Amino acid sequence: MRHDPLRAAYDAGLKSGLDKGFPNACPFAGHEAMDQRFAWLSGFSVGKIVRAKDA
C-alpha cells in the first residue's frame, strides 16, 4: 500500500479537530504544501463539527 500524503494530512487534521489536547495550528504552510494544508483544514473542520455534536 502506497503512502498518501493528502490522506495523512486529512487524518492528522481530523485527529486535531476531534481532540482538545491537539494544537489547532495547521503544520503545513506555504505554496509548496497547499494541497496538504487544504486536506488538513478539511479534516480539522470535520473533527470540530463532530466534537461539537457530541458535546
d(CA 51, CA 36): 22
d(CA 24, CA 20): 9
Query: At residue 1, does pLDDT exceed 60?
Result: no
- Global pTM value: 0.79
Res 36: pLDDT? 93
Res 25: pLDDT? 81
d(CA 23, CA 45): 13
Res 24: pLDDT? 72
Res 23: pLDDT? 65
User: What are the pLDDT digits (tens) for 10-38?
Assistant: 999 999 999 877 667 888 887 778 999 99
Res 29: pLDDT? 81
